[in-house]
Structure formats: C-alpha cells, structure tokens
Amino acid sequence: MARLLSLTLNGKTHLGAVPDNLLLLDYLRERVGLTGTKTGCDGGECGACTVLIDDKPVLSCLTLAAVCDGRRVDTVESLAANGRLSAIQQGFHEKLGAQCGYCTPGLIMASEALLRANPDPSESEIRAALASNICRCTGYVKIIAAVRHAAKLRAAGERR
Ligand code: FES
Ligand code: FES
C-alpha cells in the first residue's frame, strides 16, 4: 500500500506517494537526497539517524515516513543559513565535538532539540538528553562542552 504524504521538511512543503513501510531514514536519504542523516546501527541503538519531528528528537530508522504526514521534520541540513553555522554547529566546531563525525549529525539534532526546549541546560540535563546517542571517538567531554558553548551563543544572540 502507498499513501500520499505531505510534510514540512526543513521549512519546505514536500508532497509525494510513499509505501506504508518506508522508513523516514530511507525517505530522507534515498527519496529526498538529504544524506546528512546517517544510518548507523539501523536498529534503534546508536542515535546516528536522529532528526526532529515537531521539535522532538526521533530515531528515523524506527519511524515510518507515513507518520510524518502533516508534521514538521527538521534534519541537520536545516541548521546552517546563508553559509553561517547555527549555534549548535558552531559549538561542535569550536569545542572539537566531532572526530570521525559519523555520530555528529545525530548528536547535533538531539542537542538542538534540547536547546529548543531548555535554553540553559545543566551538564546532567545535557548528558540525559544525549544518552541515546553513541559516540565511539570523543569520550563525550567535548560534546558536552560544545552544547554548553552553543547555549551561550544562543543566549548572547550570536547564533540561532
Ligand atoms: S541508525 Fe537509527 S538508532 Fe542507529
Ligand atoms: S566522532 Fe566518531 S563516532 Fe562520534
């Protein structure tokens, strides 16, 4: 079975017919060509595929594209504007929050969701928000520093 899908993806309306069983991760990467969202474990364990639906982080490898009908989906490609990194991207850049970078889009989107809901999170709140995102390189210390720095950039109005 296929169904019509209408969603707002990175601020633009997308319309199309999708199979009922098409995963959001595959819709984004293969149908729309947004490859910033990564396939990691493909089973809900690593967080590399994290995107936002209506500002909430979801694992796109466990989410059907069809459930996004009428909703707002944001991927990592939505963050930079006019060649300028967003606050959370700048935070990861300045604080060296990425090494191999494979986990980074998922961590950035999970962090973005946190900062939208809680602009001044504590370290324990950051750790809790990112608990489902696995990084094999950084040891997480620089990631925490990146999120804290991004919160300061947002508070100062320097980055959105
Ligand atoms: S690819 Fe989705 S949680 Fe790992
Ligand atoms: S930077 Fe390599 S897995 Fe996180």
* Count of C-beta atoms within a 10 Å radius of residue 4: 10
Mean per-residue pLDDT, 18-37: 98
Which of 104, 111, 130 to mutate for ligand 2's pocket (most ligand atoms within 8 Å of CB)? Answer: 104
Q: Tell me if 160 is assigned to some domain.
A: no
Q: Does residue 99 register a pLDDT over 90?
A: yes
Find out whether the beta carbon of 101 lies less than 6 Å from any atom of ligand 1. no
More confident residue, 79 or 159: 79
Cα 27 to averaged position of ligand 1 atoms, centre (Å): 15
Question: Which amino acid is it at 32?
Answer: V
pLDDT at residue number 112? 98
Mean per-residue pLDDT, 146-152: 98
pLDDT tier at 1 (50, 70, 90 boundaries)? Answer: confident
Cα 133 to averaged position of ligand 1 atoms, centre (Å): 9
- pLDDT, one tens digit per residue, over 70-88 is 999 999 999 999 999 999 9
Is 9 in the same domain as 74?
A: yes
- Which residues lie below 8 Å from residue 130, measured CB to CB, with a gap of 6+? 47, 107, 110, 111, 114, 140, 143, 147
Is 71 in the same domain as 36?
A: yes
pTM of the entire predicted model: 0.97
Yes or no: say if 86 and 24 are a contact pair by the CB < 8 Å rule: no
Find out whether the beta carbon of 39 lies less than 6 Å from any atom of ligand 1. yes
Ligand positioned closest to the Cα atom of 59: 1
Which residue's CA is minimally distant from atom 2 of ligand 2? 100
* Domain count across the chain: 2
Is 60 in the same domain as 101?
A: no
Is 94 in the same domain as 135?
A: yes
- pLDDT, one tens digit per residue, over 33-80 is 999 999 999 999 999 999 999 999 999 999 999 999 999 999 999 999
Domain containing 100: what range? 87-155
- Sign of the CA dihedral 144, 125, 118, 54? positive
* 39: CATH: 3.10.20.30
pLDDT at residue number 128? 98
Cα 78 to averaged position of ligand 1 atoms, centre (Å): 20
Domain boundary, last residue among 57, 78, 99: 78
Structure-token pair, residue 18: 């999708």
